Amino acid sequence: MGQAPIVDQPADGAPNDLMTGDSYLESLRDGRQVFVDGEFVKDVTTHPAFANAARSIAHLYDALHHPDTKDLMTTVDRYTGYRVHRFFTPAHSPEELLKARDAIEHWARLGYGFMNRTPDYNASFMAGLAVTHDFYEPFGDNARAWYEKYARQGLSISHAIVNPPADRTKSSHEIRDVHLKVVEERVDGIVVEGAKLMATASALANVAFVGQSHLSDPDAGKADDMALAFMAPLNTPGMKVVCRTSYESKATSPFDNPLSSRFDENDAVLVFDKVFIPWESVLIHRDTEKIHQCFPRSGLLSRGFFQGAIRRSVKLQFMAGILDRGTRIYGTDGFRDVQAGLGELLAWRHQTWAVTSAMALDPEYGPGGTVLPRMDYAAGYRALAPLSWERTHRFFEEHLAGALLMTPSSGKDLQNPELRPLLDRYYRGTGATAEERTKLFKLAWDAIGTEFGARHELYDLNSADRPDQVRLDTLNWSRDAGLLDTYGDLVQKAMDDYDLDGWTRGRWAQEN
């Protein structure tokens, strides 16, 4: 696999085109067609369904320029000579992977682990274009150009790679009115029609990567017009972002909904109503074989799970802190079962962080001299990760129980002069005032009990694919890598130590 030309790295003063928080927000005012509650959203940066989430992402971009975090977050890109986010460019050593981990972690901590599709998520795929562009021939130049534009500016890229489940009993070519496909080819590009999901955070992204996660069709050749991958700026004419309900717009106040009021990455469906895509934005066209090879070859899988594990580790830290404080205020922190639950939650966090270390320090070799987080470790994390959030829910429900519900209806009750003395008396906790107790338990409820919390539970269970498919993928990857053969060889070695007559070798045989 070829690689982009390497540019001499200047010792200092590297050009910096990375967006700031302000320029990021300005980039969203581009005429995109976003719809929520039947309304066309003229400006996502001011609309109550998206404004605070947009500001939360702008906060991430500010960290790329702040004197205290600039060196933590950025490096000089060997391919362009520009300053870039450390994860937006391929890593060439375990040390570079660890530094990328630090950058990912810092962004995750700014959202307390509750923003899943921050701009570094799709760096898992986009950074690979620097060294895998030959794979996309005859569109290799497009891949390289998009890498350079993406990395230099630090663009926010969403992705939509799943077909709508209109009728799972039928093949792709049998539901052409739903699945994305080419409907016209022109000298200057293609026209596409159809829908794609789950385009999480697309309303707040600059560009959507549109591809195929699965394209299985028993009738060879009949779905070739669906074998597509391309880049589409969010203001592409005819592309509509149809959003689910906004949890941010339903949040009543920061006190009552401190997470959902600012970290709601709206999930959406992208609808392409005869949308023109210029050839310069196409990566794969009518190539089913490349579609099947794209994600394994791109680095998306192992790098994506690496980013996800780092974010989840931060999220588990945050939840362990809430559970510890909550049980103290509830007065149950000394109970044996409560301590055991908190201990297991900490174990999930420590194990998750340890996996990120293993993925970075024991990597696999990638194209063009790069390294990738080790895939078998990534597959193991992917299969077990949903259990950590399932157990976290269980601990909160068991060990905080009714305390999660015994809160005033809103912070306004604490501001009511008639109610406040009563709340101060009856709603206080162990070593905590009524206001302190209410504030913590509303934070906990927003994390697990609100619509926002329920969405996170659903996301963490299914974001990496159906749970059974995740386990099957782990089996298939292990088999393809020869790991099962190696494990079987160990079994055979043990069986060769003995037969019907006794021990056959080693000290056991000598002592017979």
Instruction: With cut-offs at 50, 70 and 90, classify the pLDDT of residue 209.
Output: very high
Handedness of CA 374, 376, 379, 383 (dihedral sign): negative
CB-count burial class (<10 Å; 0-12, 13-18, 19+) for 195: buried
The number of C-alpha atoms within 13 Å of 83 and in the hemisphere containing its C-beta is 16
pLDDT above 50 for 395: yes
User: Is 60 exceeded by the pLDDT of residue 1?
Assistant: no
57-102: per-residue pLDDT in tens? 999 999 999 999 999 999 999 999 999 999 999 999 999 999 999 9
Closest CA relative to residue 477, chosen from 358, 367, 374, 376 = 376
- What is the rounded distance in angstroms from the CA atom of residue 305 to the CA atom of residue 303? 6
Mean pLDDT value of segment 396-416: 95
Q: What is the mean pLDDT of residues 344-362?
A: 96
pLDDT at 10 over 60: no
Q: What's the confidence (pLDDT) of residue 9? A: 46
Residue 5 pLDDT exceeds 60: no
- Between β-strands 207-210 and 157-160, what pairing exists: parallel, antiparallel or unpaired? parallel
User: How would DSSP label each residue in 468-506?
Assistant: HHHHHHHHHHHHHTTHHHHHHHHHHHHHTTEETTEE-SH
Residue 217 — pLDDT band, cuts 50, 70, 90?
low
Report the 10 Å Cβ neighbour count for 30: 12
Q: What are phi and psi of 79, to 5 degrees?
A: -95, -30
User: Which domains does the chain show, CATH number per domain?
Assistant: 21-298 (2.40.110.10), 301-481 (1.20.140.10)
Tokens of 495: 């069986």
Task: Tell me the DSSP string of 233-245.
Answer: ETT-TTEEEEE--
pLDDT per position as a tens digit, 109-165: 999 999 999 999 999 999 999 999 999 999 999 999 999 999 999 999 999 999 988
Largest CA distance in the chain: 89
SS3 252: coil
**Average pLDDT score over residue span 419-441:** 97
Rounded to whole angstroms, the Cα distance separating 206 from 266 reads 15
Give pLDDT, residue 452.
96
pLDDT class of 170 with cuts at 50, 70, 90: confident
Indicate if the pLDDT at residue 172 is higher than 80: no
Q: Which of 217, 213, 241, 243 is nearest to 228 (CA)?
A: 213
Q: Is the pLDDT of residue 32 over 90?
A: yes
- Judged by DSSP in three states, 417 sits in coil
Identify which of 399, 404, 403, 406 has the alpha carbon closest to the alpha carbon of residue 345.
Answer: 399
Q: Could you tell me if 110 and 60 are in contact, meaning their C-beta atoms sit under 8 angstroms apart?
A: yes
Predicted model pTM: 0.92
Q: Which of 33-42, 74-83, 256-265, 482-491 has the lowest mean pLDDT?
A: 482-491
What integer best gives the mean pLDDT of the chain? Answer: 92
Token representation of residue 202: 């697309």
